[in-house]
């Protein structure tokens, strides 16, 4: 495997849990915290930690609101996040092609 290509992989997205979050958000641009948890089989704490890192990087936005008097957290992928994810996938494909 070519080391230079691997080093071009975005470190924020490369972490396994965050790659999972970005993958599902790339397919469905807006998901609730509960949907993400169920799709990725993650705990509340673990998901919160990784979402915070993605939010700090500007890849997702997190909105808290009340639906039928219950709190609901929704997560959206940002334009910056989508571009970063697409670039990440391009680099991965490049690595596979060069193997």
13 close to 92: Cβ distance less than 8 angstroms: no
Between 28 and 80, whose beta carbon lies closer to another protein?
A: 28
Residue from the set 34, 52, 56, 80 that interacts with another protein by CB under 8 A: 34
81 close to 89: Cβ distance less than 8 angstroms: no
Using CB under 8 A as the binding rule, whether residue 10 contacts another protein is answered as yes
Q: Which residues pair with 31 in a beta bridge?
A: 75
98 close to 2: Cβ distance less than 8 angstroms: yes
Q: What residues make contact with another protein under the rule CB under 8 A?
A: 1, 6-11, 14, 16, 19-20, 23-35, 37-40, 67, 72, 89, 92-93, 95-96, 99
């Amino acid at each position: 495997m070519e080391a230079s290509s691997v080093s071009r992989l975005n470190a924020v997205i490369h972490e396994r849990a965050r790659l999972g979050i970005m993958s599902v958000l790339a397919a469905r641009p807006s998901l609730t915290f509960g949907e993400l948890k169920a799709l990725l089989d993650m705990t509340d704490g673990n998901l919160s930690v990784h979402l915070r890192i993605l939010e700090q990087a500007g890849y997702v936005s997190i909105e808290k609101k009340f639906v039928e008097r219950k709190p609901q957290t929704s997560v959206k992928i940002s334009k910056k996040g989508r571009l970063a994810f697409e670039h990440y996938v391009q680099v991965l494909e490049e690595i596979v092609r060069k193997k």
